Structure 1
Amino acid sequence: MLHALPVLRRLRGRPARLLRRWLALSLLLSGLVALFLPASARGAPGTATVVSARDLPAGSVLRAGDLKLVDLPDDVRPQGAIGLPATVEGRLLVGAARAGEPLTDVRLLDAAIPGSGDPESSTVPVRLADAGVTELLRPGQRVDVVAAAEAGREASVLASMAVVAAVGAQAARDPTAPSAGSTGPLVLLSLPSAIATRVAAISLERSITVTLR
């Protein structure tokens, strides 16, 4: 009986040791899992990011109601994402965006658009000689503006790297307008103010087209 006492003591202590080892192993495994989980799964705080509040078509001039601010983990936040709605409002969306899509710098027109108040840039409406060319244009696209050869004058480049701000709907033909030969939709081109004035003046006298960049 005396010889059995040490054995019983060892048996009574073993469950406690096993429990402590199991707890230590569980804590170690939990730490490893948390270490290798992505930030989003760990519930890590994200970075404020501007996303579209609804589906937006290309060429939209962004307003407060089109935007919302959400927190995105850094590992899923796209490069160039914007964090301040005030820097997005009033700018033109180059391509269509789905609801909840983060807005990045490359999706926004980097030139002035109507109503932006930028004194260095202006937006000039022109009607291209070939309406088929207009159908190829998209907001945000860069083009060179060319005056066609007419009345002994050679074709000339009026502006380089103009930005297409918007493409209007097909307009009715106005035979009394100076550009009666051009019946395509109006195209809004964003240019430095001095160049925009020159393009606007020449477009009243000569046919205008663009070359695509």
Structure 2
Amino acid sequence: MRALSRRLARHRRLIAASLAAICVACALLSVRPPPGVAVVTAARDLPGGRLSAADVTVVRLPPEAVPDGAFDERASIVGGVLSGPVRRGELLTDVRLLGRGFLAALGSGLVATPVRIADADAATLLSPGDVVDVLASFGQETAQAVTVAREVAIVTRPVTGTIEGALLILATTSEQALALARAQSASRLSVTVHPR
């Protein structure tokens, strides 16, 4: 027993240094970020519109679960505009925001076209992905309605409307966008919804 005590006394500094190194290693492991890739998700259910810092949070996912276009930090997405409602915890990617990635996801030859329809209440019945025809009504008395754009998809709808109507974003061709712009300047627009 005394021999063991003498041996421990001789190696006391080495043992102390080893224990200190183990403590430092444990401390470093405890502050190291958890494994996985950082991605931005919705912090709560969001109706759409401009994102604030309180709307998003960062979680970590296995690398194989991270889709293309995912954002890895909150600062890169705050201020962006959601193309539609999202659920709490939903992963946010470039195609969920209005912008270059979003337009690429619409498909070749399509553009995002803002259109104000006269009936704001009717817009609340629409959802992204609905397919509509856009009608224009010219004149006040004996107004006739004509179809301006056929079978265009709703990309986003407003959370609320105003007395001037409600703004929709539609996926249209360039020709349809021109026809809609001409019709908006001289008529009231409405939509009919195609069955799903």
- Give the structure-2-normalised TM-score: 0.51
What are the superposed Cα offsets for residues 72-96 of structure 1, whole Å, 9 maximum, x if unpaired? 1358x47668244547862415223
What corresponds to 2:157 in structure 1? Answer: 166
User: Which residue, 66, 76, 87 being the options, matches 1:97?
Assistant: 87
Equivalent pair of 1:163/1:189 in contact (CA under 8 Å): yes
- Which stretches in structure 1 are left out of the alignment for 5+ residues? 1-43, 113-119, 173-182
**TM-aligned CA distance change 1:167 to 1:65, over 3 Å:** same
**Structure-to-structure mapping, 1:1-213, within 5 angstroms:** 45-52=35-42, 54-63=43-52, 66-73=55-62, 77=65, 82-85=70-73, 86=76, 90-98=80-88, 100-103=89-92, 110-111=102-103, 121=111, 123-128=113-118, 130-138=119-127, 140-148=128-136, 155-167=146-158, 169-172=160-163, 185-190=165-170, 191=172, 195-212=176-193
The one-letter code matched in structure 1 to 2:168 is L
Computing the radius of gyration from Cα coordinates, the structure with the larger value is 1
* Local SS of the residue matching 1:208: strand
Distance 1:161 1:111, change over 3 A: farther
Q: CA deviation at 1:136?
A: 0.5
Task: Report the residue type matching 1:147 in the other structure.
Answer: L
TM-score w.r.t. structure 1 length?
0.48
- Other structure's SS at 2:49 match: coil
Alpha-carbon spacing, 1:105–1:142, altered in 2? closer, same or farther (3 Å): farther
The offset of 1:51, in angstroms, is 1.5
Distance (Å, rounded) in 2 between the aligned partners of 1:58 and 1:170 = 14
Work out whether residues 58 and 93 of structure 1, in 8 Å CA contact, stay in contact via their aligned partners in 2: no
User: For 2:191 and 2:71, how far apart are their aligned partners in 1?
Assistant: 35
| Fraction of identical pairs, as percent | 29
CA separation of 1:95 and 1:78: change in aligned 2, threshold 3 A: farther
Q: Tell me how large the CA RMSD over aligned residues is.
A: 4.1
Flag the structure with higher helix content.
Answer: 2
C-alpha separation in 1, matches of 2:161 and 2:85: 21
SS at match of 1:167: coil
**Gap change, CA 1:170 and 1:94, over 3 Å in 2:** closer
| Runs of at least 5 residues in structure 2 that lack an aligned partner in the other structure | 1-33, 105-109
Task: Name whichever structure is richer in strand by fraction.
Answer: 2
Aligned residues: 148
